């Protein structure tokens, strides 16, 4: 079956702390749109390009040792710049719906609120990397830190998952603060609901934007 382009391009990002379920829900949305023969692309950060995957292994691996917050900021945005320029922007220009698992709000939450870098600095780096490209819709799956980390308890290979609880609490507060500042773009969902209810809630919102 030949894929169709939607009536308009749409850039959807999924955000949330560790164990929030965002990766699963981004895949569910991708499959749902694909079954409707809508041209859809699913990407993730950092990664989805050869350079991005190498940088992801470098910045997320516990074996990488200590990495300064500023270095993290620049490495994530190097991967982001490659992804935006080589994949996301061309896809949007062709009428494809692009779904991205993490984007600039992750950097604001993790390196800004979590690591303590100034928001102005983080926003400037994000702006350079993206050329000002912003999502049409950001789905924030919110769960309590203790519950999210419990879901990830068997995976200790990620530098961020192994951070102290206080770090993850700052990240969660950061996400909620970002959502309050931009309520038209953010769509907050209780990540403790059933997977089916979450996916249906997301679909209702995306369907409304795409087809109404």
What pLDDT band is residue 22 in, cutting at 50, 70 and 90?
very high
In sequence order, what are the residues at sequence separation of 6 or more whose Cβ sits closer than 8 angstroms to the Cβ of residue 144?
Answer: 172, 192
Model pTM above 0.85: yes
- The residue written with tokens 């400037």 in the block is 124
Q: Quick one: CA dihedral 5, 24, 87, 69, positive or negative?
A: positive
What pLDDT band is residue 66 in, cutting at 50, 70 and 90?
confident
The pLDDT mean for the chain works out to 93
* 155 pLDDT more than 70: no
* 36 pLDDT more than 60: yes
CA distance 160 to 163: 5
The residue ranges of every structural domain in the chain are 10-211
- The residue written with tokens 């391009």 in the block is 9
In sequence order, what are the residues at sequence separation of 6 or more whose Cβ sits closer than 8 angstroms to the Cβ of residue 68?
Answer: none
Sheet with 10-15: strands ordered across: 40-44, 97-101, 10-15, 137-142, 186-190
CA distance 196 to 194: 5
- Which residue blocks in the chain are alpha helix, DSSP H? 22-35, 50-60, 69-83, 89-93, 104-107, 119-130, 145-151, 165-181, 195-211
Residue 130 DSSP SS3: helix
* 124 pLDDT more than 70: yes
* 1 pLDDT more than 60: no
Q: What is the DSSP letter of 109?
A: I
160 is written with which tokens?
Answer: 């961020």
pLDDT of the residue at 115: 97
CA distance 158 to 1: 39
Query: For the domain 10-211, what is the CATH code?
Result: 3.40.50.300
* 48 pLDDT more than 80: yes
Beta bridge partners of 38: 4
């Amino acid at each position: 079956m030949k894929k169709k382009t939607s009536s308009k391009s749409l850039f959807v990002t999924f955000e949330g702390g560790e164990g929030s379920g965002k990766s699963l829900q981004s895949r569910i949305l991708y499959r749902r749109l694909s079954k409707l023969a809508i041209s859809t692309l699913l990407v993730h950060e950092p990664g989805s390009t050869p350079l991005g995957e190498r940088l992801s292994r470098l910045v997320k691996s516990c074996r990488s040792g200590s990495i300064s917050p500023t270095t993290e900021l620049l490495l994530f945005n190097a991967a982001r710049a490659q992804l935006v320029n080589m994949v996301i922007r061309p896809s949007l220009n062709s009428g494809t719906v692009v779904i991205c698992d993490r984007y600039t709000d992750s950097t604001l939450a993790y390196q800004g609120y979590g690591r303590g870098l100034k928001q102005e600095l983080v926003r400037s780096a994000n702006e350079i990397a993206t050329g000002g490209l912003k999502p049409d819709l950001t789905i924030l799956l919110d769960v309590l830190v203790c519950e999210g980390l419990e879901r990830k308890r068997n995976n200790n290979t990620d530098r961020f998952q192994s951070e102290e609880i206080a770090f993850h609490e700052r990240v969660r507060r950061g996400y909620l603060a970002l959502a309050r500042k931009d309520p038209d773009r953010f769509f907050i969902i209780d990540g403790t609901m059933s997977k089916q209810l979450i996916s249906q809630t997301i679909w209702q919102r995306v369907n409304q934007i795409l087809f109404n």
